[in-house]
């Protein structure tokens, strides 16, 4: 007796970017049970994600697929967290501190971070409405810190989302820390 085989599927394969968007959209609809980020080995609770996280995630995916940004190497647990801590520390030393501080959401791991006069707090709660907020991704931070992207480009391309009542101060701080990228003239 021959095994039963399903007929071949004639539907076209969905592009990776659309699969990613669909999966992320579906996950946003399912309430999560944990506040931990993916570095903790737990599922990301995307019900706590900010409304801008989907747009930033899609912009990141497009930038990775077009090779505009280098996709960060996936690192498990502690290794990924160490890389992120290094990036966040570099960000903290570069950005002028706002009086009220700000919250940052890294969309890939679903990690909320709070920057304040006391330093950087990981696994922070989401900000209250109106508080200074940044939504971005690891690839964006890597490109900014490597000088391959500036804050204005990142905001224009949807890779860096800033909001809150102190948005103007936040934008100015990021633009000061990551000024326009200029190419060195050469022969």
What does the pLDDT look like over 48-95, one tens digit per residue? 467 888 899 999 999 999 999 999 887 766 777 788 889 999 998 898
**Lowest mean pLDDT segment, chosen from 1-5, 154-158, 182-186:** 1-5
- Note whether 135 and 52 are within 8 A (CB): yes
What are the tens digits of pLDDT across the range 141-157? 999 999 999 999 999 99
| pTM beyond cutoff 0.85 | no
Identify the CA nearest to 108 among candidates 159, 31, 44. 44
Q: Which CATH number fits domain 16-177: 3.40.50.300, 3.30.1050.10, 2.60.40.1080, 3.20.20.100?
A: 3.30.1050.10
User: What is the predicted pLDDT for the residue at 31?
Assistant: 36
Label residue 14 by pLDDT band (50, 70, 90). Answer: low
Distance CA 136, CA 151 (A): 11
Domain map (residue ranges) of the chain: 16-177
Q: How many Cβ atoms from other residues are within 10 Å of residue 85's Cβ?
A: 15
Sheet containing 133-136, strands listed edge to edge, beginning at the edge strand earlier in sequence = 119-122, 111-116, 102-106, 133-136, 161-163
């Amino acid at each position: 007796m021959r095994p039963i085989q399903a007929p071949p599927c004639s539907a076209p394969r969905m592009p990776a970017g659309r699969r990613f968007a669909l999966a992320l959209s579906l996950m946003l609809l399912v309430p999560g049970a944990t506040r931990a980020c993916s570095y903790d080995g737990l599922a990301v609770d995307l019900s706590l994600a900010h409304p801008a996280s989907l747009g930033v995630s899609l912009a990141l995916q497009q930038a990775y697929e077009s090779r505009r940004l280098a996709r960060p190497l996936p690192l498990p647990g502690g290794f990924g967290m160490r890389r992120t801590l290094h990036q966040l520390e570099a960000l903290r030393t570069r950005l002028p501190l706002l009086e009220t501080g700000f919250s940052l959401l890294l969309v890939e791991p679903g990690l909320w971070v709070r920057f304040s006069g006391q330093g950087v707090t990981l696994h922070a709660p989401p900000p209250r409405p109106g508080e200074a907020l940044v939504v971005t991704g690891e690839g964006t931070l890597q490109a900014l810190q490597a000088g391959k992207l500036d804050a204005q480009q990142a905001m224009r391309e949807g890779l860096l989302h800033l909001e809150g009542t102190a948005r103007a101060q936040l934008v100015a701080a990021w633009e000061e820390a990551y000024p326009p990228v200029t190419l060195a003239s050469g022969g």
